[in-house]
């Protein structure tokens, strides 16, 4: 049995006793999946993984997402592994400096939605003893639970539309150097529909599955009613009781469950304060397959 220590807050747990540079056994993997379903994210301290080891770890949870368009000038060392960094060497960025600044739920714009993000901290910015560059999350399961009953009743069975271009255009308007969203990208990433109340495949509990980054409207509502309802839901998600700040330490591997959280990167550090992470984005290709639950020992399909 793994040592799993809840954070005592609305999200998070720390798991000790695993070297993630090695293959995780089925029993341990099952316990990690259960912990994700209970706590939203899990943290592993004092790890040291290269790109290929991070990819191998991440692929145990499902198929990896490949970026719509890699950052200009950034060298891809290992396909499927992204670099998030503000570090520039010899005039060339080593990674993407502006990733994830807008609230979003990873890959909700795909037919097969995102399951987990796996990040490994190599360098963390620190100023005057204070760690900067955190990741802020929202407990979307808690946000669902906290909705008024009349809203739950009104939106039962409702479907929302998700569009990657919404995030892309918003980032560009906010000063990002991303090029305009192209027709080729649109062909690869058409708009998709997902339930507003998404049941978790392990726990069966609903989460509020909308986010400002990618959710653009609610089907079967008028344009005005859709805008007003999304504005209400986004404001509800931002209530302090659902928010959680993750503070990084160098060597951390942090895995969060996109099916019951949304997130953003906190840009509170300067360009001369280095932040360097490597990341994999894992799709829901396994977690929605009952065979995966059985393979990792979740025979009853629930994490409680």
The predicted-structure confidence for 206-220, as pLDDT tens digits, reads as follows 999 999 999 999 999
Handedness of CA 168, 93, 138, 119 (dihedral sign): positive
CA 236, CA 203: separation in Å to the nearest integer?
23
Query: Could you tell me the pLDDT band of residue 178, with boundaries at 50, 70 and 90?
Result: low
Query: Could you tell me the pLDDT band of residue 304, with boundaries at 50, 70 and 90?
Result: very low
Instruction: Supply the pLDDT for residue 299.
Output: 57
Angle, CA of 205, 211 and 217, to the nearest 5°? 105
pLDDT tops 90 at residue 187: no
H helical segments located in 81-200 = 140-145, 149-155, 164-173, 183-188
pLDDT tops 70 at residue 174: no
64 close to 44: Cβ distance less than 8 angstroms: no
Burial pattern 30-47, b for ≥16 Cβ within 10 A else e, equals bbbbbbbbbbbbbbbeeb
Can you identify the CATH homologous superfamily of domain 3-295? Answer: Clavaminate synthase-like (3.60.130.10)
Angle, CA of 65, 137 and 284, to the nearest 5°? 30
63 close to 282: Cβ distance less than 8 angstroms: yes
Neighbouring C-beta atoms of residue 72, cutoff 10 Å: 11
The contacts of residue 72 (CB under 8 Å, 6+ apart) are 177, 179
Domain boundaries, the chain: 3-295
For the chain, give the mean pLDDT. Answer: 92
241 close to 142: Cβ distance less than 8 angstroms: yes
CA atoms within 13 A on the CB side of 266: 16
Angle, CA of 197, 234 and 269, to the nearest 5°? 120
CA 216, CA 231: separation in Å to the nearest integer?
11
CA 195, CA 74: separation in Å to the nearest integer?
36
């Amino acid at each position: 049995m793994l040592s799993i220590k809840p954070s005592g807050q609305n999200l998070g747990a720390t798991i000790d006793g695993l070297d993630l540079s090695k293959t995780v056994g089925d029993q341990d993997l099952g316990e990690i999946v259960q912990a994700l379903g209970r706590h939203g994210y899990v943290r592993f301290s004092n790890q040291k993984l290269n790109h290929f080891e991070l990819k191998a770890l991440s692929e145990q949870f499902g198929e990896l997402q490949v970026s719509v368009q890699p950052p200009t000038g950034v060298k891809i060392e290992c396909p499927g592994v992204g670099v998030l960094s503000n570090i520039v060497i010899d005039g060339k960025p080593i990674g993407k400096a502006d990733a994830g600044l807008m609230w979003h739920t990873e890959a909700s714009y795909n037919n097969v939605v995102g399951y987990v993000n796996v990040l490994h901290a190599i360098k963390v910015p620190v100023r005057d003893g204070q760690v900067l560059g955190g990741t802020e999350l929202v407990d979307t399961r808690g946000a669902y639970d906290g909705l008024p009953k009349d809203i739950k009743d009104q939106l039962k069975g409702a479907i929302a539309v998700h569009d990657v271009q919404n995030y892309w255009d918003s980032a560009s308007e906010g000063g990002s150097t991303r090029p305009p969203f192209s027709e080729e990208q649109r062909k690869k990433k058409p708009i998709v529909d997902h339930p507003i109340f998404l049941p978790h495949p392990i726990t069966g509990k609903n989460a509020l599955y909308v986010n400002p980054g990618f959710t653009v409207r609610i089907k079967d509502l008028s344009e005005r009613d859709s805008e007003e309802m999304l504005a209400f839901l986004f404001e509800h998600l931002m209530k302090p009781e659902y928010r959680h700040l993750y503070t990084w330490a160098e060597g951390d591997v942090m895995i969060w469950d996109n099916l019951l959280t949304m997130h953003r990167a906190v840009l509170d550090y300067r360009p001369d304060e280095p932040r360097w992470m490597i990341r994999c984005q894992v799709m829901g290709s396994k977690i929605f397959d009952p065979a995966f639950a059985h393979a990792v020992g979740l025979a009853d399909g629930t994490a409680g």
